[in-house]
Amino acid sequence: MELSLVHPAIKAFMCGSFSGTCSTLLFQPLDLVKTRLQTLQSGMQPGSGRVGMMSVLLGVVRTERLLGLWKGVCPSFVRTIPGVGIYFSCYYSLKQHFFQDKRPGAGQAVMLGGGARTVAGVAMLPITVIKTRFECGRYSYVSVSGALRSVCQSEGPAALFSGLMATLLRDVPFSGIYVMFYSQTKASLPQEISSSPAAPLANFSCGVLAGVLASLVTQPADVVKTHVQVHPHLRTAEAIKYIYSEHGLQGFFRGAVPRCLRRTMMAAMAWTLYEQMMAHIGLKS
């Protein structure tokens, strides 16, 4: 690859990493609440009633204080800073290679988003496993490096790739659907809005709409992924059977509200910041 092609990809990596850092720090509490909801046992206490998002959030604050809502933020940073950078760098490189200055169609946008997410998802899966375990509250890990050593010694390196299929089934469709809806809704904006000072707000709104649709479609895969990574003895098919037998169909939508809020707002913010930074350095995103 020529040097002129390397530099834009590195710039895209840096812009993506910065946008991912900001959105991760802001929305980590929603991710923690989502993980706790998805890993609740079915028979916790007779007559305890339905456990919702607010009760979990207040429970975390009550038992682990306010900073407990940011438990798992370190592995989130370790995953997100390079992970989002890899994603945007791959997205930019693929788009420049196959489309250059042409606007991708709906199906092409799905392929772009899904391809970039596949690379980033596989590369960062070990950190995703550690992050999920930090958030669920069932493991007493002290640091990311210590958690990685502990998993390798007690369960073997293969455990760091548990939930690979469920993760790809969640992230690849999410990214593909998100990029498709985001690019198509943004392209439908009137030119006077796209070139006005209100463009970042309009782009953010497009990102919110795309995020809601993509989150709802991929929610069941996210629940399965969480169970496989928290209980590494479970295979994907076994996790599906377990969730259905314990909670029924509604079990596949546990944690949907905090996840939808987090993924939607995080993706919208990341894409808005990424595009603004790319425009600032003179590159077309």
Give the torsion sign (CA, 14, 19, 24, 30): negative
Amino acid letter, 21:
T
Confidence class for position 199, pLDDT limits 50, 70, 90: confident
- Rounded to whole angstroms, the Cα distance separating 152 from 46 reads 37
pLDDT at residue 50, as a whole number: 60
- Rounded to whole angstroms, the Cα distance separating 19 from 87 reads 12
- Rounded to whole angstroms, the Cα distance separating 143 from 59 reads 23
- Rounded to whole angstroms, the Cα distance separating 144 from 87 reads 22
Domains in the chain: boundaries: 3-39+54-280
| Per-residue pLDDT tens digits for 106-147 | 899 999 999 999 999 999 999 999 988 888 878 888 888 999
Give the other-Cβ count within 10 Å of 97's Cβ.
10
Most confident of 65-74, 96-105, 110-119, 233-242: 110-119
Structure tokens at 277: 């930074």
pLDDT at residue 41, as a whole number: 58
pLDDT at residue 102, as a whole number: 80
DSSP 8-class letter at 103 = P
CATH code of the domain occupying 3-39+54-280: 1.50.40.10
pLDDT at residue 48, as a whole number: 44
- Rounded to whole angstroms, the Cα distance separating 146 from 141 reads 7
Between 42 and 218, where is the model more confident? 218
Question: Residue 94 in contact with residue 112, Cβ under 8 Å?
Answer: yes
Global pTM?
0.77
